Structure 1
Amino acid sequence: MTDALLDLQGLSKSFGALRATDNVSLTLRSGEIHALIGPNGAGKSTLIQQVAGALAPDAGRILFEGRDVTGLSTAQRAQAGLGRTFQISALAMENSVLQNVMLGAVGASRSVWRFVRPVMRDAGLRVEAEAALHRVGLEDVAAMRVAELSHGQRRLLEVAVALTLKPRAFLMDEPMAGLGSEGSARMTAFLDGLRAEAPILLVEHDMDAVFALADRISVLVSGRVIATGTPAQIRRNAEVQTAYLGEEVAP
């Protein structure tokens, strides 16, 4: 793992006097999970929104596979291969599980004409969506309304939707949020295997999951990266222990 697939260079974003991200630089390499951790309000989700295209940075640039994507829209970045799951669910609650994933596949197709066709009759999209649901273990609830799913099932559904984009890299914002121990274990196992398909920039508060999954960890405090290293290096880092809830990262 030597070449950066995703390269964030000096990203900064302010909201009035608040410096949400402050000259943030980090990389995501092929085949790895790079976890971004830090206290609430550190700027983690703001950073992910900049990478995904939902927020424009005030300074810095974003390279994806060597291409400057800083000026691209969220849709253009998704089409380029950046797949995202959200901290707050963006699913269509009244639609079925299968419909949600098929609509994700439509968005990935780049073909405007598909929107005027009866989506549910498109056999190719259906096969693609069903395959994604099978991968995350939701094939048995394909006909259910999303509103009827458990919180953990919705998190898995978001991953299934992202899979239809055939991403070259994943941006995941707290995929373990609200999951119980069984759900977290299942998601951890799934993400562990997913890194071979596409690397993951992972924002997560579940420290057990972070240290089980991450190849590298960056610690964000008050908008700045104070440390980047392997899990073992982060555990031993005195600045991390002092600045970010030392008991959470203690051996």
Structure 2
Amino acid sequence: MTDPVLKIDGISKSFGSLKASNDICLDLRAGEIHALIGPNGAGKSTLIRQIAGEVAPDSGRIMLAGEDVTALSVAHRAKHGLARTFQVSALAMEDTVLQNALLGVIGAHGRAYWPFGGVLRHEGLRERAEEALERVGLMDEAATRTSELSHGQRRQLEVAVALTLNPLAFVMDEPMAGLGTQGSLALTEFLDGLRNEAPILMVEHDMDAVFALADRVSVLVYGEIIATGTVAEIRSDKAVQRAYLGEDA
């Protein structure tokens, strides 16, 4: 078996007497979607923030492509290939779809600020943004203001922005949040193909999407991973049923 693309090794984090993460170990392998599920208050958001670099763990390591990135900032992890999408959209809503993609290109290029006019005239950078939009099916919307996109299209645009980083791995925080049935089905199909671009660690409450997409599932309860396995293994796990899924899972 090849080494995992992303490895969380013994991560622990406490806030006063609250143990939000307790010796958490999990990994993300090439070509897979690994879903992280659990009840509200289980510590999923805290774990994702540690993986992304927003919160420093008290102990443990985070490895990306064999490199220890535990001490790196959010920006430096992104430059190393860790692409994150958010439960609440972080897009610039008044900018066009192309301008949002260009923001990703600017960040990937290591520039804190670069006027859009200069980027638009830079053939290589503009092509990089347009290629990402083409890959997620949004090139026809390049001139559309982002606020005019559907919720599902905004999710796709977030992925396009992430793709400009040439990511090694995606970390997605509830990508199905706010989507209706049709939107969830469309995004599920889209993410199913995206795993071949880079593997996905996905926090998600939509169990239909989890069961349709995940190669493996980890269950987080009170800051601890209580089970990791295939969808079938997790659905039949009595401890998981008691803690989260229910007896009729």
Q: TM-score, normalised by structure 2?
A: 0.94
Show the counterpart of 2:21. 21
Runs of 4+ in 1 over 3 A off after TM superposition: none
* Alpha-carbon offset, residue 31 of structure 1: 1.2
* Alpha-carbon offset, residue 124 of structure 1: 1.8
Show the counterpart of 1:70. 70
2:70 is paired with a residue of what secondary structure? Answer: coil
* Residue 83 in structure 1 maps to residue 86 in structure 2: no
Show the counterpart of 2:36. 36
Aligned-partner residue type, residue 18 of structure 1: L
Show the counterpart of 1:167. 167
CA distance in 2, matches of 1:44, 1:115: 35
Alignment of structure 1 residues 180-195 onto 2, 5 Å:
180-195=180-195
* Alpha-carbon offset, residue 88 of structure 1: 1.4
**Structure 1 pair 226–134 and aligned structure 2 pair: CA distance change class (3 A):** same
**For each residue in 1:86-134, what CA deviation from the matched residue of structure 2 results, as whole angstroms up to 9, or x when unmatched?**
1111111111111001110111123x39726722222222222122122
Alignment of structure 1 residues 41-52 onto 2, 5 Å:
41-52=41-52
1:232 is paired with a residue of what secondary structure? Answer: helix
1:71 is paired with a residue of what secondary structure? Answer: coil
Identity of paired residues, percent?
67
**Structure 1 pair 241–122 and aligned structure 2 pair: CA distance change class (3 A):** same
* Residue 228 in structure 1 maps to residue 228 in structure 2: yes
* Residue 241 in structure 1 maps to residue 241 in structure 2: yes
Aligned-partner residue type, residue 64 of structure 1: L
CA distance in 2, matches of 1:245, 1:214: 16
Show the counterpart of 1:8. 8
2:99 is paired with a residue of what secondary structure? Answer: helix
**For each residue in 1:200-245, what CA deviation from the matched residue of structure 2 results, as whole angstroms up to 9, or x when unmatched?**
1111111111111111100001111000001110011000000003
Show the counterpart of 1:156. 156
User: Is this contact kept in 2: 1:9–1:62, CA < 8 A?
Assistant: yes
CA distance in 1, matches of 2:178, 2:112: 38
**For each residue in 1:22-42, what CA deviation from the matched residue of structure 2 results, as whole angstroms up to 9, or x when unmatched?**
111101111111110111121
Aligned-partner residue type, residue 159 of structure 1: V
1:205 is paired with a residue of what secondary structure? Answer: coil
Aligned-partner residue type, residue 199 of structure 2: P
1:115 is paired with a residue of what secondary structure? Answer: coil
Show the counterpart of 2:114. 115
Alignment of structure 1 residues 130-145 onto 2, 5 Å:
130-145=130-145
2:212 is paired with a residue of what secondary structure? Answer: helix
Unpaired runs of at least 5, structure 1: none
CA distance in 1, matches of 2:174, 2:86: 7
Unpaired runs of at least 5, structure 2: none
Please provide the CA RMSD for this pair: 1.7
Show the counterpart of 1:216. 216
Show the counterpart of 2:96. 96
User: Is this contact kept in 2: 1:105–1:165, CA < 8 A?
Assistant: yes
CA distance in 2, matches of 1:241, 1:69: 34
CA distance in 2, matches of 1:55, 1:120: 35
User: Is this contact kept in 1: 2:106–2:112, CA < 8 A?
Assistant: no
* Residue 54 in structure 1 maps to residue 49 in structure 2: no
User: Is this contact kept in 2: 1:3–1:29, CA < 8 A?
Assistant: yes
User: Is this contact kept in 2: 1:99–1:120, CA < 8 A?
Assistant: no
2:165 is paired with a residue of what secondary structure? Answer: coil
Q: TM-score, normalised by structure 1?
A: 0.93
* Alpha-carbon offset, residue 154 of structure 1: 1.3
Show the counterpart of 1:204. 204
